[in-house]
Structure 1
Amino acid sequence: MKIYGYRQSNADHTLFLKRRKRKVIVLIIYIDDMIITGDDTEDIDKLKHYLSTEFEMKDLGGLKYFLGIEVARSQQGIFLSQRKYVLDLLNETGMLACKPADTPIVQNHNLEILPDQVPTNKDRYQRLVGRLIYLSHTRPDIAYAISVVSQFMHSPSEVHMEAVMRILQYLKSTPGKGLMFSKHGHLQIEGFTDADWAGNRTDRRSTSGYFTFVGGNLVTWRSKKQKVCSLSSAEAEYQSMVHGICEMLWIRKLLKELGFMAKDAMKLYCDNQAAIDIANNPVQHDRTKHVEIDRHFINEKLESNVISVPHVKADEQLTDVLTKAVSRQVFSDSLDKLGIGDIYSPT
């Protein structure tokens, strides 16, 4: 691709770009599958011809299916889901006729490893969780549940397998849930970040989560247990903010390579006022010295107007579903706000 005049992206090495007369072509490669898009139709045809002379390949036309992801187009936008993947998984596990569940994880769950727990089939557990981890790349609604069950891969018990079965029961009720990407007239980068302080009962570590949006559309998310214990809720939120900012900086860099320059500061919404005050305070105190590097990093981005950290009310915080198990009503409302829906469900 480099010989043919394409430049490899620094933000994503599977992405290749070519510009010609203010037009752009984008090529995404994953092993032997690829997607070509752009607004230079003439050069796209030339690229297809060039690739066909180098490799044995087949043009499948407009994008409909890629790496298990189904693509549907309408006047509302582009919808991504993994409905077939979910149905195949349910069929393989014998859960196609199971009783559906409203949420992927039980509220106030307790999945500690205790001496008297009955062990389960480790290979089957790891195989199922691995399949679910792949699915969570397009299903933010199961991201937190997957982050919980994946912590017990080394020594799963029947209790943990029951939690995995609960996720499959939830998928039975929502096999076609996915993401809708629509035009909103802008390409602003925004993020929501949150942390559940000392939520893990085994080691009292916190769980961080973030959602990032581009042009009003959800593009990336993450739910992950923090590597160290936090001494306060503000510290836990602060570490979560750093992860969110790093993700937004990566998205900003990727958009710049595609030719879209950010005009305004990226907004990272946080519901912890103490963490926001620390971020905006250039003076170090004894109670913040253990997060000194994180503090300097955030403060540097604030001073350079790369980001801003506005406060969001707790009931408007979208990231709760990535840090804790919530009630059915809160879970449903959060998915609606995130733009997660199911075009296959009857209306």
Structure 2
Amino acid sequence: MIEALARNLKHSFEVSELGDIHYYLGMEVEKDREGDYFLSQQKYIREVIVSSGLADAKDSKTPLDPGYIKNESEGTPLPSNAEYQKLIGKVLYVAVNTRPDISTAVSILSRKTNHPTHEDWNELKRVVRYLKGTINYRLRLSRKGEVGAITGYSDADWAENRDDRKSHSGFVFQVNGGTVSWACRKQSCVSLSTAEAEFIALAEAAQEALWLKLLLQELNDEQRVVIYEDNQSCLKIIEREKLTRKMKHIATKFHFTKDLIEKQEIECIYCPSEDMVADLLTKPLQRIRLEKLVKLIGLSITV
């Protein structure tokens, strides 16, 4: 298919063959002898570190202090939000392309772009100091994983936001063992229970799964979709014929997800919490837990 596309392009445009890709939109691309690809942004991260004045700063072991959320609404306002917004944009570019391990921190800190405090600024610089200490991390796209499967992980942190008590969703998707998609975001409505927050996160993951499946179908690559969920109560919601009166406000998400399951577009399976990769995308984690999930998501160190 790729060769046919290349031939068609040559008929209409002047095309130069440059061989294997090594650099693309600020991302370094490496390939090993076994055919695995590695994505990183080491050059870009170095530029961010220097421009932030943190070249000589001490490395941080985690991107965000787990206790930061408790005091998120407190602090002395910065005189201007310009530098804060500029740095948020820089680390966001890293988070969405090659570094899912900083996505939660960037998502949470992005909520303060209009009225950041000195405490927010210190935590944002902590993200950069974490990148400084992990600059050699590369995202691995392996050929050794389960062929023919889109594997997803869905999780939520219930009532995480202390201001409005909205929960935080996170999901990760891997194709043939390589992480290709991830996201974390604040939910749009207030959930009344952990199971409800988990189900809303699952519905968001199901939307991404459907898009991935359709994309791969366009490439003539049929894939089964499995989404792992670590909340038993959430899985029981899916088994119901209809929602209870107390959960009617999420009826649309319920019917959307249930319809995909009944049509065998996706399959939802229980996963122990200790192996829930998407936990990385719902809340700040302690170092040991963070390092375990970083490996599971496919980030490795350049030797």
Do residues 47 (structure 1) and 9 (structure 2) align?
A: yes
Alpha-carbon distance in 1 for matches of 2:242, 2:208: 26
Q: Number of aligned residue pairs: give it.
A: 299
Alignment of 1:1-150 (within 5 A): 24=1, 38-40=2-4, 44=6, 47-48=9-10, 50-52=12-14, 60-76=18-34, 77-110=36-69, 111-114=71-74, 117-137=76-96, 138-150=98-110
| Maintained 8 Å contact 1:242/1:294 | yes
What is the aligned partner in structure 1 of residue 284 from structure 2? 325
Alpha-carbon distance in 2 for matches of 1:107, 1:284: 35
Shift of 1:46: 6.0
Do residues 152 (structure 1) and 132 (structure 2) align?
A: no
| Maintained 8 Å contact 2:148/2:222 | no
Percent sequence identity over aligned pairs? 31
Q: Deviations over 1:156-183 (max 9, x none)?
A: 1111100111001101101121211111
Whichever of the two has the greater Rg, that structure is: 1
Task: Please list every run of 5 or more consecutive structure 2 residues that lacks an aligned counterpart in the other structure.
Answer: none
Alpha-carbon distance in 2 for matches of 1:167, 1:195: 22
* Equivalent position amino acid for 2:72 in 1: E
Shift of 1:48: 4.1
1:299 to 217, 241, 258: 258
Instruction: Give the root-mean-square deviation of aligned CA atoms.
Output: 1.7
What is the aligned partner in structure 2 of residue 3 from structure 1? none
Alpha-carbon distance in 2 for matches of 1:120, 1:172: 27
Q: Which has the higher helix share?
A: 2
Shift of 1:278: 0.6
Alpha-carbon distance in 1 for matches of 2:211, 2:290: 28
Alignment of 1:167-206 (within 5 A): 167-184=127-144, 186-206=147-167
Q: Classify 1:121/1:48 alpha carbon distance in 2 versus 1 (closer, same or farther; 3 Å).
A: farther
* Equivalent position amino acid for 2:184 in 1: S
Q: Deviations over 1:240-269 (max 9, x none)?
A: 00110000100000000011123x4x1111
* Equivalent position amino acid for 2:148 in 1: L
Q: What's the secondary structure of 1:136's corresponding residue?
A: helix
Q: What's the secondary structure of 1:168's corresponding residue?
A: helix
Alignment of 1:266-285 (within 5 A): 266-285=225-244
Structure showing greater relative contact order (alpha-carbon pairs closer than 8 Å, 6 or more residues apart): 2
Q: What's the secondary structure of 1:71's corresponding residue?
A: strand
Alpha-carbon distance in 2 for matches of 1:274, 1:324: 20
| Maintained 8 Å contact 1:255/1:261 | yes
Q: Classify 1:120/1:214 alpha carbon distance in 2 versus 1 (closer, same or farther; 3 Å).
A: farther
* Equivalent position amino acid for 1:159 in 2: E
Shift of 1:49: 6.4
TM-score (norm. length: structure 1): 0.82
Alpha-carbon distance in 2 for matches of 1:304, 1:257: 19
Could you tell which deviates more after superposition, 172-181 or 182-191? 182-191
Shift of 1:45: 5.4
What is the aligned partner in structure 2 of residue 232 from structure 1? 193
Q: Deviations over 1:198-226 (max 9, x none)?
A: 01112111000000111111100001011
Task: Please list every run of 5 or more consecutive structure 1 residues that lacks an aligned counterpart in the other structure.
Answer: 1-23, 25-37
* Equivalent position amino acid for 1:166 in 2: R
TM-score (norm. length: structure 2): 0.94
Alignment of 1:237-252 (within 5 A): 237-252=198-213
What is the aligned partner in structure 2 of residue 286 from structure 1? 245
Do residues 213 (structure 1) and 174 (structure 2) align?
A: yes
What is the aligned partner in structure 1 of residue 126 from structure 2? 166
What is the aligned partner in structure 1 of residue 296 from structure 2? 337
Alpha-carbon distance in 1 for matches of 2:131, 2:63: 8
1:255 to 202, 206, 216: 216
